[in-house]
Amino acid sequence: MSDGRVHDLEQLARQTDDYRRVVQTGPHSQLVTMHLRPGEAIGEEHHDDADQLLYVVSGSGEAVLDGEVHPMGPGQLVYVPAGVRHDIRNAAEESLRVWTVYTPPEHPDGTVHATKADADADEHDHR
């Protein structure tokens, strides 16, 4: 369910096959769903001025935080403080579906990247 402020995040994350979909953007935070296919990773990155929370809805993978690997699975939350180098990897044979919150927003409102390649080609969208 979504009325613009109330969301069933598990359902949204399970329903989309888009690599990245911005669900809602506010003045201080942003809600995004992500879908990583088997073997896919976001690639190492860091956000100088944004904290990020990632919640695993389904699938399993690894969170790499400043070079330290942490297994992740359904129901787990990964907290990435600003400045921490990180990567999220799907090393399983099933999709890894997460929702994530950026504070402050990281992508232009309404951003949809169907694939990782689309996201990589649109790197300029980061604020």
The answer to whether 122 touches 110, Cβ cutoff 8 Å, is no
pLDDT value of position 6: 85
Q: Which residue has the higher pLDDT, 5 or 113?
A: 113
pLDDT band at 124 (very low <50, low <70, confident <90, very high): low
Count of domains for the chain: 1
Q: Do the domain assignments include residue 83?
A: yes
Mean per-residue pLDDT for 24-53?
95
pLDDT in tens, 90-116: 989 999 999 999 999 999 999 999 999
Contacts of 115 (CB under 8 A, 6+ apart): 19
pLDDT band at 1 (very low <50, low <70, confident <90, very high): very low
Residue 80 neighbours by CB distance under 10 Å: 22
Q: Do the domain assignments include residue 4?
A: no
Q: Which residue has the higher pLDDT, 127 or 84?
A: 84
Mean per-residue pLDDT for 54-72?
97
CA torsion 49-55-61-65 (nearest 10°) is: 30
Is 0.85 topped by the overall pTM? Answer: yes
Contacts of 34 (CB under 8 A, 6+ apart): 13, 19, 20, 21, 42, 54, 88, 97, 98, 99, 100
Residue 40 neighbours by CB distance under 10 Å: 19
Q: Do the domain assignments include residue 2?
A: no
Q: Do the domain assignments include residue 14?
A: yes
Q: Do the domain assignments include residue 1?
A: no
% of the chain with per-residue pLDDT over 70? 94
Q: Nearest-CA neighbor of 56 among 97, 4, 109?
A: 97
CATH number (domain holding residue 77): 2.60.120.10
- What range does the domain containing 41 cover? 9-125
Q: Do the domain assignments include residue 92?
A: yes
pLDDT in tens, 6-16: 888 899 999 99
